[in-house]
Amino acid sequence: METSLQKQSQRKTRLWKKVGLWSGGVLILLLAIVLIGGNLFLSRGLPKTTGEIELAGLTAPVQVIRDSSGVPHIKAENEKDLFIAQGYIQAQDRLFQMDLSRRQASGRLSEVIGEATVNNDKFFRTLGLRRAAEASYEQYSESGKDVLGWFADGVNLYMDELQESNKWPIEFTLLGYKPEPWIPVDSLTIGKYMAHDLGGHWENQAFRQYLLQNFPEEKAYDLFPTYPEQGPYIIAKNELDIEKSFAHAVIPHEFNGSNNWVVSGEKTVSGKPLLADDPHLSLATPSIWYQMHLEAPEVNVSGVIFAGIPGIILGHNDHIAWGVTNTGPDVQDLYIEKRNPKNKNEFLYMDNWQEATVINEPIKIKDGQTIDYQVTITRHGPILSEFAAELGSNTALSLRWTAHDPSAELEAVLNMNKAKNWEEFEIALEKFETPAQNFVFASADGTIAYKGNGKIPIRKGNGLIPVPGWNDEHEWTGYIPFDELPRVVNPKEGFISTANNKVISDDYPYHISNHWAQPYRQLRIQEVLSKKDQLTVEDMQALQMDQKNLQAQEFVPKFLAALEGVSDEQQKQALDILEKWDFVDSKDSAAPVIFNIWMTKVPEVLFTEHIPEETLKLFQGQKPVVDEMLRKALRGDSGPWIKEAGGIEKVLVDSLSLAINESIENQGKNLEKWEWGEFHQVRFNHPLSSVSPLQYLFNSEGGIPVGGSSVTVQAAAFTKEGTVNHGASWRFVIDVADLSTGYHLVGPGQSGHVKSKWYDDQMKDWVEGIYHQTKTVNPEGDRLTLVPS
Cite the active site residues. 258
Closest by alpha carbon to 285, among 680, 690, 617, 679?
690
User: Which amino acid is it at 218?
Assistant: E
With 0-12 / 13-18 / 19 or more C-beta atoms within 10 angstroms meaning exposed / middle / buried, residue 370 is exposed
Asked if 133 contacts 67 with a C-beta cutoff of 8 angstroms, the reply is no
Residues 6+ apart with CB under 8 A from 743: 537, 541, 732, 733, 734, 771, 772, 773, 774
Left if phi > 0, otherwise alpha if psi is -120 to 50, otherwise beta: which for 661?
A: alpha
CA atoms within 13 A on the CB side of 434: 31
End-to-end CA distance of the chain: 85
CA atoms within 13 A on the CB side of 548: 16
Residue 624 preceded by cis peptide, ω within 30: no
Q: Quick check: helix, strand or coil at residue 108?
A: coil
Q: Quick check: helix, strand or coil at residue 331?
A: coil
| Number of neighbours of residue 485 by Cβ within 10 angstroms | 22
Q: What backbone phi and psi angles, to 5 degrees, belong to 395?
A: -125, 135
Task: Give the separation between CA 612 and CA 37, rounded to whole angstroms.
Answer: 49
Closest by alpha carbon to 82, among 296, 323, 297, 280?
296
Task: Give the separation between CA 326 and CA 571, rounded to whole angstroms.
Answer: 39
Task: Give the separation between CA 559 and CA 648, rounded to whole angstroms.
Answer: 10
CA distances (Å), origin 39, targets 35, 164, 167, 659, 754: 6, 21, 14, 44, 10
| Number of neighbours of residue 509 by Cβ within 10 angstroms | 8
Task: Give the separation between CA 514 and CA 25, rounded to whole angstroms.
Answer: 69
CA angle 251, 257, 262 (to 5 degrees): 165
Closest by alpha carbon to 381, among 202, 145, 630, 589?
202
Asked if 62 contacts 82 with a C-beta cutoff of 8 angstroms, the reply is yes
Task: Give the separation between CA 258 and CA 197, rounded to whole angstroms.
Answer: 13
Asked if 74 contacts 86 with a C-beta cutoff of 8 angstroms, the reply is yes
Is 330 annotated as a binding-site member? yes
Q: What backbone phi and psi angles, to 5 degrees, belong to 7?
A: -60, -40
Is 67 annotated as a binding-site member? no
Task: Give the separation between CA 377 and CA 379, rounded to whole angstroms.
Answer: 7
Q: Quick check: helix, strand or coil at residue 685?
A: strand
Asked if 208 contacts 336 with a C-beta cutoff of 8 angstroms, the reply is no
Task: Give the separation between CA 539 and CA 570, rounded to whole angstroms.
Answer: 40
Q: Quick check: helix, strand or coil at residue 275?
A: strand
Task: Give the separation between CA 154 and CA 147, rounded to whole angstroms.
Answer: 11
CA angle 775, 778, 784 (to 5 degrees): 100
Task: Give the separation between CA 498 and CA 345, rounded to whole angstroms.
Answer: 45
CA angle 141, 146, 149 (to 5 degrees): 125
For 378-410, the DSSP string reads: -SS-BB-TTSS-----SEEEEEEEGGGS---HH
Task: Give the separation between CA 83 and CA 563, rounded to whole angstroms.
Answer: 62
Longest CA–CA span in the chain (Å) reads 115
Could you list the residues known to form a binding site for Ca(2+), using ranges.
Answer: 330, 333
Could you list the residues known to form a binding site, using ranges.
Answer: 330, 333
